[in-house]
Amino acid sequence: MKNIRNFCIIAHIDHGKSTLADRLLDFTGSVTDREKQEQLLDSMDLERERGITIKSHAIQMNYTYKGEEYILNLIDTPGHVDFSYEVSRSIAACEGALLIVDAAQSIQAQTISNLYLALENDLEIIPVLNKIDLPSANPEVVTDDIVELLGCNKSDIIPASAKTGIGIEEILSAIIERIPAPTGKPDAPLRALVFDSVYNPFRGVETYFRVFNGSIKKGQQIKFVATDKNYFADEVGTLRLKQFPRQEIKAGDVGYLITGIKDAREVKVGDTITDAKNPTTEAVSGFEDVKPMVFAGIYPVDTEEFEDLRSSMEKLQLNDASLVFVPESSAALGFGFRCGFLGMLHLEIIQERLEREFDMTVITTVPNVSYHAFTHKNPDQAILVNNPTDLPEPSSLARVEEPFIKASIITKSDFVGSVMSLCIEKRGQITNQTYLTPERVELNFDMPLAEIVFDFYDRLKTVSKGYASFDYSPIGMRASKLVKVDILLNGSVVDALSALLHVDNAYDIGKKMCEKLRQLIPRQQFDIPIQAAIGAKIISRETVKALRKDVTAKCYGGDISRKRKLLEKQKKGKKRMRLVGNVEIPQEAFMAVLKLND
């Protein structure tokens, strides 16, 4: 066990995490020349295109240092804020972490939040200053920033360039010398942490785990503590680029397990694996079910494709157990699903994967978060509201609580004013403001999650000219004055456009929605009123004017009464048409609601 090192890499998006992992694999000879490619651990096309890690990966490397053979387990972590629970489980499986900071961009919000996660788990931190070969790099200033953040010595920071391979040998020797070897009891009952799982269509769910105590053998009967289910370990082994089956994985090591589970929901990240006959008394702490934060309706463009959409969603769920969905129907869009996502990036990725992998073109409704509603009848019992249409009648409603987040924004000092006014417009309350350097400021806000769901991130990048980095963590529910704004077309409610909004913003947003829809809804032979309403009270109205057919064109001169008779007849026809007329809503209208500020 003394020759094993388990470590992860923490960094902000685009600070060179995947490239550094590539160089480590090259240097330790873990990949052959034939297998080499850029971002080797990012296996999805989407990850390569966007340059982000969506699914974390683990890989084992062998390295000889001062004549001794060491096993290095790199447990990769996704960088984006939506996947912070997965990051926390990966960190719990390690003893050390490489903290990578870009020499051109300095410390960003996400680096700090993941660093705090690592420090909470008592990890040994090795700071790495990456991209020192860039012309825009500013190593001296960024080194001072890191020293201030970590309280370490300048000599502890390793200057490196993952692209050119500078400093890779120093990083490997630091991993071996500074990161402690794993501790564990080889003779105690089996206790292992599940930090990830991947779905293989031929073999079922492959579970990635780290053994803390005992060992796991091929053919052993094991038990998952959280789901309380027993399985046989059909195959255990270590993770290289390909899987290497072994007879036994001992304490301190990382490996994979195949049990033939066909449903990804049965394997939960953060769960504890133990022996079915001789179980451990203490499970690995920190397990929680992943809670969706953002909800949206996903509907097929053609209602006949509903069953195809269902099977596509089920297949996606095998790969991504954090996707939650239930069937729902809408008067405007027909049958579809109400889906729960970890955040907006997760929603975008699921939508993109549906289109790419399953050829499904879908309509996504306005995303919203889940609220707690309390009625006068049961003031202590919370009703979970994931869809604005589920909100109880205003007369029976006592209060509504919405989820709040603690947002941390790091930006240049020039943009403090514009970032603050954006956050205050989004109902944020500033809690702290610290100058990390004379040039860089960290701002902390308490904000409602619903306000950052739409366009907050895009607008933050706009007001700060791309210099702001943003990170958040949930801080629980708080009571708010929320109202349900309905959109009525021709007098009937379009349920897919309903939204729960704060009282102060309801009038403005209702007005903007009506104006936007007026531009997008095609004209008919009759007037179409577009109204925004809170309960029975109309707060805004726009009208799409009728296309008027010229019925008097055939009258050349003659008596006025003939023309009047034709116009009266047309008026009656329009009235009847308006009563029975149906208004088709174009797909762009649902998307336009998300971009009200454009």
Residue 16 labelled as part of a binding site:
yes
Spatial distance between the Cα atoms of 168 and 263, rounded to a whole number of angstroms: 40
Pick from 353, 351, 354, 352: nearest CA to 364: 351
Q: Is 458 annotated as a binding residue?
A: no
Q: Cα–Cα distance between 566 and 559 in angstroms, integer?
A: 12
Q: How many residues does the chain have?
A: 598
CA pair distance 347, 261, nearest whole angstrom? 26
Query: Tokens standing for 81?
Result: 């804020």
Residue 25, SS3 per DSSP: helix
Question: Is 268 annotated as a binding-site member?
Answer: no
Please spell the DSSP secondary structure of 134-155, one letter per residue: STT--HHHHHHHHHHHH---GG
Q: Work out the angle at residue 571's Cα, subtended by the Cα atoms of residues 566 and 574, and round it to the nearest 5 degrees.
A: 125
State the Cα–Cα distance between residues 468 and 229, nearest whole angstrom: 46
Task: Find all residues with CB under 8 Å of 276, minimum gap 6, and list them.
Answer: 221, 222, 223, 230
157 is an annotated ligand-binding site residue: no
Rg of the chain, C-alpha, whole Å? 29
Distance CA 302, CA 581 (A): 21
State yes or no: 528 annotated in a binding site.
Answer: no
Contact 498, 509 (CB under 8 A): no
* Conformation bin of residue 539: beta by default, left when phi > 0, alpha when psi is -120 to 50: alpha
- Among residues 127, 88, 97, the alpha carbon closest in space to that of 5 is found at 97
The separation between the first and the last C-alpha atoms of the chain, rounded to the nearest angstrom, is: 58
Angstrom distance (rounded) from CA 223 to CA 375: 42
Q: Any binding-site annotation on 272?
A: no
Number of H helices, E strands in the chain: 14, 32
Please tell me the distance from the alpha carbon of residue 363 to that of residue 350, in angstroms, as a whole number: 12
What is the C-alpha separation between 160 and 168, in angstroms, rounded? Answer: 7
CA distance 118 to 111: 10
Q: Please indicate if the annotation marks 376 as binding a ligand.
A: no
Q: Is 214 annotated as a binding residue?
A: no
Residue 145 marked ligand-binding: no
Q: Kindly state the helix (H) or strand (E) to which residue 532 belongs, with its residue range.
A: strand 528-534
Max distance between CA atoms of the chain, in angstroms, equals: 112
91 labelled binding-site residue:
no
Residues flagged as binding site: 14-19, 130-133
Residues flagged as binding site for GTP: 14-19, 130-133
